[in-house]
Amino acid sequence: MVLLLCAGLASCGALQDGQQSIAADNPSAPATSSPRCAAVTKLPVGQHLVTSWRNAPSDALVTHLLAGVTVRQAFAPHRSGSQMRLRLSNRYSQLPVTLENIHIAQEQAPGAAALVPGTGCALSFGGSSRITIGAGGSAVSDLIQYPVQAFERVGVSFYAPEITMQVTRHLISNETLYISAPGDYSADPSGAAFVPMPDGYVSNFLVIEALEVAAPRGVTTLVAVGDSITDGSDSTTAPLQGAPSAMTGTDERYPDHLQRRIDAAGLPLTVANAGIGGNELLSSGLLPQFGLGLLDRLDADVLSVTGASHVIAMIGTNDSGNAWPGGGPSTEELIAGYTRLVQRVHAAGLKIVLGTIPPAEGTVIEGLPVPLVNTLPIGIQHGSDAARRSRDGANAWIRSQTISDGIVDFEACLSDRQRPGYLDPAFNSGDNLHPNPRGYAAMAECIDLQLFR
């Protein structure tokens, strides 16, 4: 068995992914009492793997040219655990990607490049510190002993030793992405060598897809899936101020707030975020970076999520709002899509809760009112009559249907009582489409946790 050195700590070990799967399914496996970074050959008795954090890969179109530099990115796990592994994705790339010396460590301050000294571990893949992921492929690290705490943010660093023209990303992470000066700084906790990438242009998650931890078998994963409102767009923006967003690392997306409510209630669930900005139910997004339609990405981003037992889906805003003028789906087409969604989730043995489409009247795009934008052939029409009819019809059906395992009326929770169809001013990020952090918290409060007991 190959052993790797861990960032100044105990040694990391190797474990084949197939062995991990066998061990994860073996409740009689003995507990591991190894120090931090040590290989885990079998999970503790009565435990399995669940998803502590996740993002959904969107595309590989506009990414970074990486060559002899280190990438560092951070996020907040939703579930604590003593054993963990990391999933990487090259799903949408047409070229292989080679990475070296992938490390995980605690983040020193939210949104900062520096990591806490002495908390790092090197990850291995089949016992090697180097991994090449083929075009369209994915990889999972060897399972190691590493203490992950819910909402204690971690940073993941990797070195790209070769010219890397294209990597799979998640569009708009609402986090700061750091790239270093030339060299391998993956094990260096200092942030001195790193430069933040411009917000709104390249603030994406690159390659990393999920962090999984060991948990008691009664704990399962709730997958929140949808578009930018699930993903958390503008969750770091001061409401109604018109100021650029600041990547503060405060984790104010609605799935983050939902996880906090679930933890306070003592429910055995961890929330995985599978939202993609611009995503649609029926079709691929208006722009390629908005991802495949939910029905096309359902298997990869929802049904195969580690530990998944429940789904909460809020989707449909962009089917009508981002359609080419006059070309959006009818209410009947949306209903047919929702029906297929529920049927497929049920066929996979999971439960699903449907959420109504939030208000979108008066949407502005880059400071331009939608009526003005609609005169241009770019397909943004959230506030148009056609989009309104489609949204209202879909919401009426969601409220009345009985095929899902429950509903959440996000529209009612976020609506301005004085102006139906508009976001409540207290919840408005400023574009009349995306909630602000207070609005995302209100969405989580709107969810009846009894649906998941």
Task: Locate 399 and state its tokens.
Answer: 């409220």
Assess if residue 7 is contained within a domain.
no
404, with CB counted inside 10 A (0-12, 13-18, 19+), is buried
Number of domains in the chain: 2
240: tokens are 């109604």
Q: Are residues 242 and 191 in the same domain?
A: no
Q: Which residues contact 137 (CB under 8 A, 6 or more apart)?
A: 90, 91, 96
Tell me if 381 sits within 8 A of 321, measured CB to CB. yes
189 and 233 in one domain?
no
Answer yes or no: is 87 within a domain. Answer: yes
Same domain? 119 vs 226: no
pLDDT for the residue 10: 31
Q: For 90-101, what is the mean pLDDT? A: 96
Write the pLDDT tens digit of every residue in 22-62.
333 333 333 334 489 999 999 999 999 999 999 999 999 86
Which tokens go with 200?
A: 């709104």
State the DSSP code for 358: P
Regarding whether 22 and 142 lie in a shared domain, the answer is yes
Helix 331-347 vs helix 385-400: crossing angle, to nearest 10: 40
> Which amino acid appears at position 113 of this protein?
A
pLDDT > 50? residue 378: no
Question: Of 186, 208, 230, which residue constitutes the final position of a domain?
Answer: 208
Reported as a single tens digit per residue, the pLDDT across 160-179 is 999 998 999 999 888 889 99
Asked if 305 and 409 sit in the same domain, the reply is yes
The angle that helices 437-446 and 254-265 make with each other, rounded to 10 degrees, is 50
DSSP per residue, 361-393: TT-EETTEEHHHHTTSTT---TTSHHHHHHHHH
Residue 402 CB neighbours (<10 A): 6
317 lies in the same domain as 187: no
Mean pLDDT, to the nearest integer, of 205-232? Answer: 97
pLDDT, residue 325, reads: 58
Residues 235-292 pLDDT 10s: 875 433 444 445 455 799 999 999 999 999 999 999 999 999 999 999 998 888 999 9
Mean pLDDT across 74-88: 97
Q: Return the CATH number at 362.
A: 3.40.50.1110
**pTM for the structure as a whole:** 0.88
Rg (CA), the chain: 21
Instruction: Name the domain boundary from 180, 208, 236.
Output: 208
Whose tokens are 């917000």? That residue is 199
pLDDT at position 201: 58
Sheet arrangement for strand 269-275: 269-275, 220-226, 308-314, 351-355, 407-408
Dmax (CA) of the chain: 67
The range of the structural domain enclosing residue 150 comes to 17-208
Q: What is the pLDDT of residues 385-415, one digit of tens each?
A: 888 888 999 999 999 999 999 999 999 999 9
Given this model, what pLDDT does residue 248 score? 54
Statement: residue 12 has pLDDT above 50: no
Q: In the 3-class helix/strand/coil scheme, how is 256-308 assigned residue by residue? A: HHHHHHHHHHCCCEEEEEEECCCCCCCCCCCCHHHCCCHHHHHHHHHHCCCCE
229 and 250 part of one domain: yes
